[in-house]
Amino acid sequence: MEENTKKTVLSCIQPSGALTLGNYLGALKNWVAMQEEFDCTFAVADLHAITVRQDPQKFRAQIYSTCALLLALGLDPEKSTLFIQSHVKSHAELMWILSCYTQFGELSRMTQFKDKSAKHADNVNLGLFAYPTLMAADILLYKPDFVPVGADQKQHLEIARDIAIRFNNIYGDVFKVPEPYIPKVGARVMSLQEPTKKMSKSDENVNSWIAILDKPEDIMRKFKRAVTDSEARVCVGEGRDGINNLIGIYSAVTGKTADEIALEFEGKGYGDFKIAVGEAVVEELRPIRERYDTFISDKKQLEDIYKQGAERAFYTARKTASKAMKKVGFVL
């Protein structure tokens, strides 16, 4: 009975590259914690990933890898639903219906479309433009109470809410209008080389970001090369973006406050602190890498988990999509 009283949450992540320490501390760590409080649905959003050209072989491997990594992080298929987006056909089906209730002007104002169009000027495709409508379908199919969002996804949740309200105003109570979920704990992790920019796997400088699956020696090397400043004092300060970022990472991993960290490293230089941050991150990520190796090496177990997840997801998604189709007037 307790299971039925839980609020529902939906989160999706693209299998488009190595997940970073920023992804882990900013969002994924919270996904694991949310399983205890919410009824969670997690999707590997492979349909979204093809708005940018993918090498088929690498793309397929990355989908497997993302599933294995999410399990290694602690997503429990007994507590949550984990599936691959393209395995539930209702996503594409509902996306087309919602496209007919999404205004061209709304999509043209989306900042992420403008940013990605600039980065991929040779491939400004319809999928890239209509991306938010597919995201709206992802969300509305499962009638979640909450959707965890960062600053870069807030606009997408807003348009999903607008589409749901517009559809409901025409046809009645079809979609639940979800609320944004702001995690209680989450770190905004910046680039190790340009600490005014968010850590990103798309950064060409590999020393600027830490992948969750990086080897310990690579993690240590990147932290030793991290940009700081000439003050050589471990404490938070205005305009001290590099050291503030390292303190934030160390705090997120160890649970220590900025004041406690400043006291711990009083009289010590940046070299000592960078080593301490690197070692703390290595130990935080070590069990994840070990569990990942177990999951990725057992493809049968991995397939069983995401196929069972797709069956559970389809049961919910089909009901929502069918209701929307009936309201529009389709013959089912």
Reported as a single tens digit per residue, the pLDDT across 252-284 is 999 999 999 999 999 999 999 999 999 999 999
What are the residue boundaries of the structural domains of the chain, listed by start?
A: 3-187+299-328, 206-293
| Helix, strand or coil, per DSSP, at residue 278 | helix
Specify the pLDDT at position 185: 55
Mean of the pLDDT values across residues 159-178? Answer: 97
Specify the pLDDT at position 2: 47
Global pTM value: 0.90
DSSP string, 116-160: HHHHTTT---HHHHHHHHHHHHHHHHT--SEEE--TTTHHHHHHH
Confidence of residue 222 (pLDDT cuts 50, 70, 90): very high
Question: Which range, of 83-97, 157-171, 195-209, averages the lowest pLDDT?
Answer: 195-209
Which one has a higher pLDDT value, 121 or 200? Answer: 200
- How many residues would you count in the chain? 332
Sheet holding 146-148: strands in order across? 81-84, 39-44, 8-13, 146-148, 179-181
Looking at mean pLDDT, say which of 124-138, 148-162, 178-192 comes out highest: 124-138
Residues that are catalytic = 116, 198, 201
Confidence of residue 186 (pLDDT cuts 50, 70, 90): low
pLDDT tens, position by position, 45-94: 999 999 888 999 999 999 999 999 999 999 999 999 999 999 999 999 99
206-293 folds as Tyrosyl-Transfer RNA Synthetase (1.10.240)
Alpha-helix runs per DSSP H in the chain:
21-23, 29-37, 46-49, 56-73, 90-99, 104-108, 111-119, 126-141, 154-171, 216-224, 241-254, 258-264, 270-296, 299-328
Mean of the pLDDT values across residues 205-226? Answer: 96
What are the angstrom distances between the C-alpha of 31 and each of 28, 34, 189, 225, 285? 5, 5, 17, 30, 16
Mean of the pLDDT values across residues 184-201? Answer: 86
Would you state the CATH architecture of domain 3-187+299-328? 3-Layer(aba) Sandwich (3.40)
Specify the pLDDT at position 40: 96
Token look-up 């992804």 returns: 23
Confidence of residue 122 (pLDDT cuts 50, 70, 90): confident
pLDDT at 298 exceeding the cut of 60: yes
Quote the percentage of the chain above a pLDDT of 70.
97
Average pLDDT, the chain: 92
